[in-house]
């Protein structure tokens, strides 16, 4: 009775048993077909990878040049050296992964190389992709920055103008208070208030406060012209800045002109804030209630003088009340939201494309894709190599042996036959 053939540790199938249909002839044919495809693809994969790396290097060069302000041969050499280093690094990195990751069979080795690939992708984005995005959309990002700055300046200019107009509108409140004192002085001149007809002490107090309010009203009315002139000049500068932001011509020259206009417009906004007469009204209201030159009582009798004194006290109380009303109105104007401090900060294309990244998602997608597209090839190779191994299974064929390997195998076979024959003769 012959011994049973040994069985495999996992399958329970004899080692010399014919392979299953999955791992037999059909599996070999499937694996050979995939290998022929890979052989054909290998003829141009390196070339395609080199083209992608070179394209990334060109855009990296343009991005680096936008960051280096100093012209000259050394600047060109530095940008060229950096872009070449990026191209070589991308080519070598993906070449390693295209060869090694598909050949890994254990889960630990695959995870290790996948982790290395993730780290490499982060490094590629950090050293190349953002510069590619700067080259693709840097100019548009700078124009977006200028457009946003124009909107910020426009908001500040309109707010400063609105506050100044609100302060200048206090002239109506001043006019109303001044008219009330004019009416009281007319009544006093007729003897209605103190009972002493003529232009006595009470009349002089009333006309004194009326004159102060008239001077304040004149100042407020005169402020209207400078406020409107400054606002009109600011709008003209804003219109010029909008034209620069979207106009034609070299971006560097437009940026310089835009900066000059921004400085001029900032000065106009500051001037509008200074032209706001609300603080003037606040101080005038305070002076109105606290400072009063009381004339000498000129009544002919003690009773008339007492009447004048009592009326002056009432007038001063009225002055204090009206001053508080004016001060409250001026405080409400001063409490209005102040214009934001609009400041234009020039940006390079590389900085602007990062700050306004949400506005340039297609450019960022293209810049990153040109660097990380080979990752798709790596995953394709992993899938194909796994399919080849699955098709072959445990069955091994030598259909891909070279001529040298075939000759060595035949020589080894001949030596074994000679050894077996010699052993048989001895026996």
**Who contacts 320 (Cβ-Cβ below 8 Å, separation ≥6)?**
289
Q: Give the three-class secondary structure for 378.
A: helix
- pLDDT tens digits, residue range 259-280? 899 999 999 999 999 888 888 8
| Rounded average pLDDT over 372-378 | 90
Report d(CA 200, CA 95) in Å as an integer.
106
Question: What is the pLDDT, as a whole number, of residue 237?
Answer: 92
Considering only residues 70 and 334, tell me which one the structure prediction assigns the higher pLDDT.
334
| Rg (alpha carbons) of the chain, rounded to whole number | 46
- pLDDT tens digits, residue range 12-60? 444 444 444 444 567 777 778 887 888 888 888 889 999 999 999 898 8
What pLDDT band is residue 11 in, cutting at 50, 70 and 90? very low
| Rounded average pLDDT over 344-360 | 85
What pLDDT band is residue 7 in, cutting at 50, 70 and 90? very low
C-alpha torsion angle, residues 220, 226, 231, 233 (rounded to 10): 180
Tell me the three-class secondary structure of 111-131, residue by residue: HHHHHHHHHHHHHHHHHHHHH
**Residue 231 pLDDT more than 80?**
yes
Question: What is the pLDDT, as a whole number, of residue 88?
Answer: 93
- pLDDT tens digits, residue range 80-91? 999 999 999 999
Report d(CA 422, CA 416) in Å as an integer.
10
Question: What is the pLDDT, as a whole number, of residue 5?
Answer: 42
Placement of tokens 């399919």 in the chain: 387
**Where are the chain's structural domains?**
21-136+360-398, 153-348
- The mean pLDDT of the chain is 79
Tell me which residue of 300, 297, 237, 232 sits closest to 264, measured CA to CA: 237
- pLDDT tens digits, residue range 354-369? 888 888 888 898 889 8
| Rounded average pLDDT over 106-111 | 88
């Amino acid at each position: 009775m012959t011994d049973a053939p040994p069985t495999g540790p996992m399958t329970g199938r004899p080692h010399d048993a014919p392979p299953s249909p999955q791992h037999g002839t059909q599996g070999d044919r499937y694996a050979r077909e995939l290998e022929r495809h890979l052989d054909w693809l290998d003829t141009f994969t390196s070339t395609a990878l080199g083209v992608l790396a070179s394209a990334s290097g060109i855009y990296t060069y343009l991005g680096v040049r936008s960051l280096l302000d100093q012209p000259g041969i050394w600047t060109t050499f530095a940008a060229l050296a950096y872009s070449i280093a990026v191209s070589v690094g991308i080519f070598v990195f993906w070449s390693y992964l295209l060869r090694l990751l598909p050949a890994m069979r254990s889960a630990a080795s695959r995870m290790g190389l996948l982790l290395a690939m993730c780290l490499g992708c982060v490094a590629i984005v950090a050293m190349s992709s953002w510069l590619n995005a700067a080259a693709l959309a840097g100019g548009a990002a700078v124009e977006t920055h200028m457009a946003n700055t124009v909107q910020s300046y426009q908001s500040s200019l309109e707010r400063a103008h609105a506050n100044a107009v609100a302060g200048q509108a206090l002239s109506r409140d001043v006019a109303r208070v001044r008219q009330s004192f004019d009416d009281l002085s007319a009544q006093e001149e007729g003897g209605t208030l103190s009972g002493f007809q003529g232009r006595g002490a009470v009349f002089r107090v009333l006309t004194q406060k009326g004159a102060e309010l008239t001077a304040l009203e004149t100042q407020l009315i005169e402020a209207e012209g400078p406020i409107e002139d400054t606002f009109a000049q600011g709008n003209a500068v804003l219109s010029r800045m909008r034209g620069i932001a979207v106009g034609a011509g070299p971006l560097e020259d437009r940026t310089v002109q835009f900066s000059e206009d921004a400085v001029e417009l900032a000065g106009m906004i500051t001037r509008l804030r200074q032209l706001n007469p609300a603080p003037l009204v606040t101080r005038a209201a305070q002076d109105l209630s606290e400072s009063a030159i009381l004339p000498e009582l000129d009544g002919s009798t003690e009773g008339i003088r007492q009447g004048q004194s009592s009326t002056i006290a009432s007038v001063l109380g009225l002055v204090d009340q009206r001053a508080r009303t004016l001060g409250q109105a001026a405080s409400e104007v001063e409490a209005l939201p102040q214009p934001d401090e609009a400041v234009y900060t020039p940006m390079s294309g590389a900085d602007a494309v990062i700050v306004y990244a949400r506005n340039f998602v297609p450019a960022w997608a293209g810049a990153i894709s040109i660097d990380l597209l080979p990752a798709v090839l790596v995953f394709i190779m992993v899938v194909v190599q796994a399919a080849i191994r699955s098709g072959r299974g445990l069955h091994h064929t030598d259909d891909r042996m070279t001529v040298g390997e075939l000759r060595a195998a035949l020589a080894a076979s001949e030596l074994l036959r000679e050894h077996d024959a010699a052993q048989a003769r001895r026996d």
